[in-house]
Amino acid sequence: MDNLLARRAEIAERNRKLAETANSSLDGQTVRIPGYLLPLEFSGKEITEFLLVPWVGACIHTPPPPPNQIVHVKSDKPVGNVSMFAPIWVTGKLTAAVSKKSLYLVDGESNSNTAYSLKASVFELYKE
């Protein structure tokens, strides 16, 4: 039993490290990724920088997803009329680069580690 528990701890640690690591084969690729946005920077009422996360409200009041499921998105063209509760598609050039971003909220601040950044070129509402 002790051997199995030790092996379990090794596997858990390996999986934690993998979740914090970017997949370098995606570096420089043009990708189209769905998700929900968490605003970081605004230009008036339009969003110029945000985190793309896999579920509504990730990183705000719940434990954040692992860094390899969070994408830091910047765009020269601001995103307008998009709700944090509506899924979107984002297309752009992906960079595999681990970083830490701070979200400032009405009721506090939250830090999130990201494994990717994306220079966005296209935003679309998510439709199946």
96: three-class secondary structure by DSSP: strand
What's the full length of the chain, in residues?
128
pTM for the structure as a whole:
0.82
Domains in the chain, ordered, with CATH?
A: 2-125 (2.40.50.870)
H/E stretch holding 25 reads none
Each of the 128 residues of the chain gets a pLDDT tens digit; together they read: 888 888 999 999 998 888 888 999 999 999 999 999 888 887 778 888 999 999 887 766 677 889 999 999 998 788 887 888 889 999 999 999 888 877 766 566 777 889 999 999 998 888 86
